[in-house]
Amino acid sequence: MDIIKKTSYQCGKCHKVYVDENMANNCCEPYHCNVCGKETPRYVLVCEQCREKREYNKAQKMTLQEWEEKFPNHMIYYNDKFYGDIYEMLDDIDFDYNEFPAYCWGTDEVAMEVDPDNVLEGIVENTSCEDLDFSDEAYKEFKNIISYWNDKYRQHYYMQSDIIVLIPEELKKEYIS
Ligand SMILES: [Zn+2]
Ligand SMILES: [Zn+2]
């Protein structure tokens, strides 16, 4: 067995050891935002404000009215929480400590239902018997049964979408006195 001598580098501040000299040099150096240059927490390359601004610019924007017409009954998403509508959201914010938000996020509705093909293919894949398969007739009938079940028991949940819903200025008066 050949052995090779390796050099290692140690950070002078926290004493962590690295093989790469550059990494040791940067170990306890402060991190900075790529966009605005502000100091950021360790390993964070874009600061919170710049990330938010970037997401805002990229997103499709809608007025509250447009949103409600296009996606009635969809939940909205704000500050890691889902709300039934804008009023429920605003009621939940403590304006003694928080600013009135300029926007929130829309959501996509996702259906939770059984995929009949997946079920039968799963059974076939899990068997050790190679030639075993269901007939076309069996697939067809199973699909009909499952589609009946899906119609009856399908559930929906919501996920943050890439649409920004702009909160009308007028609402501010109702919440901030
Ligand atoms: Zn260090
Ligand atoms: Zn920044």
Tens-place pLDDT, residues 79-89: 999 999 999 99
CB 58 within 8 A of CB 49: no
Q: Which ligand is nearest to the CA of 42?
A: 1
Distance from Cα 39 to the centre of ligand 2, integer Å:
8
- Tell me which of 14-18, 129-133, 157-161 is least confident: 129-133
Phi first, then psi: give them for residue 133, nearest 5 degrees. Answer: -155, 160
pLDDT surpassing 80 at residue 5? yes
Q: CA-CA distance, 106 to 102, in Å (whole number)? A: 13
pLDDT surpassing 90 at residue 90? yes
Q: CA-CA distance, 57 to 60, in Å (whole number)? A: 8
Distance from Cα 68 to the centre of ligand 2, integer Å:
33
Structure confidence at residue 129 (pLDDT): 78
Tokens (6 digits) for 69: 């017409």
pLDDT surpassing 80 at residue 130? no
Structure confidence at residue 32 (pLDDT): 94
Structure confidence at residue 160 (pLDDT): 96
